[in-house]
Structure 1
Amino acid sequence: MTGATPHRRQNLLTGEWLLVSPQRMARPWQGEAAPAAPAVPSHDPDCHLCPGNARADGQRNPDYAGTFVFPNDFPALLNTAEPTDQHPLLREAPARGETQVICYAPDHAASLASLDDSARNAIIDCWCDLSARLGARWAHVQIFENRGAMMGASSPHPHGQCWAGDFVPSLVAREDRRQRAHHAAAGRPLLADVAAAELAAGVRVVVQDPHWLVVVPHWAAWPFETLIIARDDVRRLEDLDGAQRAALSALLGRLLRGCDALFDAPFPYSLGWHGAPHANGDDTAHWRLHAHILPPLLRSASVRKHMVGFELLAETQRDLTPEAAAERLRAVLK
């Protein structure tokens, strides 16, 4: 459905619905304005992530030349947990895990978009290695990046994070149930069928190659949200072979450079990988590896979409249609 009247769409991965209101794109806007991004040096002596600098806990980074991974100095999860209160209504459960910081490169001014394919390929190898190693001892491994102050990134240095825990997080658990149910009914992975439907429709496809498909999904909640779907039968990051990793490096660079070109500014986003939870063991036939890129910018580099009001209290809502967003992204890809 691509009409100009209000309608609802269902997120097939979660089952949730959202309201699409295309007619609201004509409304005047006096929203939040963001200051212009300052120039960023290649090395910042005050940055906790730059090579050779001291981190917040006093440890000093090595003079790394590529990717550098270290345990988060302020972890959200610990390897130990205490018993929690037991109440029939107010439920609690212990949570154990570990968290890592992934410095992408020594250059403080770089980004996942600006690095060359070789450097990006090294980051992908790092993601795959972390997923395999931590997945061997934890139920789920979540690899993600928050880019930009607008997304709460604590440092402009190019970096991501990896949180591994002894539980499957709520959103991933919902995706697991929805994909499992579709596979039981159709005999095919849900995202394989979504990819086929999006390729047939064409209007939401942003970029594709033999191994990967990028779409603004039919159910996208954020204005320029994209979904990266593995076209091969891949369930987890560590399943990617050399050709698939090389293709992903080139595709990610092209996509993220296009995002930066959209408003001629560094594009803030949260990017995260969803693969089969390691708690599933080999029970992964219903899964297809995919990544979500969730950027907040709406009309310009200084106007963002806020999830407030109706979105917080009722249901997610968007004005710009996914079809229009995909068209604009296609136009800036190089």
Structure 2
Amino acid sequence: MKKTVTTLADGRELIYYDTRDDTVRTAVDPRPLAPVVSRSEIRYDELTGDPVAIASHRQTRTHLPPADACPLCPARAGRESEIPEESYEVVVFENRFPSLSGGVGRCEVVCFTDDHTDSFADLTEERAALVLDAWTDRTAELSALPGVEQVYCFENRGAEIGVTLPHAHGQIYAFPYVTPRTAAMRRRTDEHGAATGRNLFDDLVARERADAERVVLETEHWIAFVPYAAHWPYEVHLHPKRRVPDLLALDGAARTECAQVYLELLRRFDRIFGPDEPPTPYIAAWHQAPFTDERREDLGLHLELFTVRRASGKLKFLAGTESGMGAFMNDVRPEDAARRLREVAGA
């Protein structure tokens, strides 16, 4: 992998990741951009203690532009974009409209391909591996920034999810706090360890392998399953069989298989509802242990992949119980979801 670091016209960092060592990136951003002025504020819910980022500057961010004005496509004559080169493989740059900024974290955009019509599932294994390398590199870089506690790589796909740019991309958030879901996992891991003397993530993977009813696929180094108490209609958790706290700790064999397994899961998600249904909207969330956690080795790296589509033409909305009380109600039995995801393997 070759990494080329440069800056955009307003001073934001932009990084090219290429598979070939002889790739040269020299294009300069010609846009007359003023420096980005944004500052987030972190407040804490007095009733729960949960952190909330206040980022009012994001109200003016780009929203569903036409394809010929996509800011994530490569630059062309007469059409400027966030990426000055005429083509690229994988690109990461600082978000122009960050939710976290001004010394309270950092937000980056990850472009998976320069093809406006492709999705992640359309990538080759080599390109998917390059994205994994970029996620890993950014995790290392961002975790070293002052005040950063947790690094979160994720992708939102589909207008139903709220995506404002359809070009295949994800984001990386460097949080200045431990996110509420991770904090809950930390508590449960501690409780399980105190009660059993064992690790929660190890026991979870062992139970799903032994039960097998909710297992979607299994390889030498990875296992994917629908969780026993899935929140979402179709939800898959992907765990390495050897527990590691983050992407940095994956060994070579697990990294190679990761790209293969991840692509297979995304392709199965697109087959759930049949060939006549539009692409399945989803969120793909990589959970990594906080870098400030003294016992971070107890926590397990894993992917949580889920969709808000519950049936053909129907969405699951977070209504009164979910949004108001955080009490999820799932319309699809997890065992049925797992069976469906096994049925569409290689279809």
TM-score of the two chains, using structure 2 as the length reference: 0.75
Query: 2-side partners of 1:222 and 1:190: how far apart?
Result: 22
Matched, 1:276 2:289: yes
**Residue matched to 1:321:** 333
Query: Which of 184, 201, 205 matches 1:195?
Result: 205
Contact 1:50/1:61, CA 8 A, preserved across alignment: no
Query: Which of 129, 143, 151 matches 1:121?
Result: 129
Contact 1:57/1:73, CA 8 A, preserved across alignment: no
Q: Where in structure 1 do 4 or more consecutive aligned residues deviate above 4 Å?
A: 56-60
The CA deviation at 1:310 is 3.0
Query: Which of 240, 249, 266 matches 1:239?
Result: 249
Contact 1:47/1:53, CA 8 A, preserved across alignment: no
Change (3 A) 1:130 1:60: closer
Query: Which of 266, 280, 286 matches 2:298?
Result: 286
**Residue matched to 1:309:** 320
Give CA-to-partner distance per residue, 1:67-122, whole Å, 9 cap, x none: 00000010011133xxxxxxxxxxxxxxx011100001111111111111000000
Contiguous gaps of at least 5 residues in structure 2: 1-65
Contiguous gaps of at least 5 residues in structure 1: 1-42, 81-95
Letter in 2 for 1:98: R
Query: Which of 145, 150, 156 matches 1:140?
Result: 150
**Residue matched to 2:120:** 112
The CA deviation at 1:156 is 1.2
**Residue matched to 2:279:** 266
Matched, 1:79 2:102: yes
The CA deviation at 1:258 is 0.8
Deviates more, 1:206-215 or 1:177-186: 177-186
Query: Please, what is the CA RMSD of the aligned residues?
Result: 2.0
User: SS where residue 222 of structure 1 aligns?
Assistant: coil
Letter in 2 for 1:66: E
**Residue matched to 1:50:** 73
User: SS where residue 293 of structure 1 aligns?
Assistant: strand
Contact 1:269/1:296, CA 8 A, preserved across alignment: yes
TM-score of the two chains, using structure 1 as the length reference: 0.78
Query: 2-side partners of 1:200 and 1:288: how far apart?
Result: 19
Query: 1-side partners of 2:222 and 2:266: how far apart?
Result: 15
**Residue matched to 2:181:** 171
Query: 1-side partners of 2:221 and 2:87: how far apart?
Result: 31
The CA deviation at 1:209 is 0.7
User: SS where residue 247 of structure 1 aligns?
Assistant: helix
Contact 1:71/1:101, CA 8 A, preserved across alignment: yes
The CA deviation at 1:309 is 2.5
User: Which protein, 1 or 2, shows the higher relative CO under an 8 Å CA cutoff with sep ≥ 6?
Assistant: 1
Contact 1:45/1:53, CA 8 A, preserved across alignment: no
Query: Which of 221, 227, 235 matches 1:217?
Result: 227
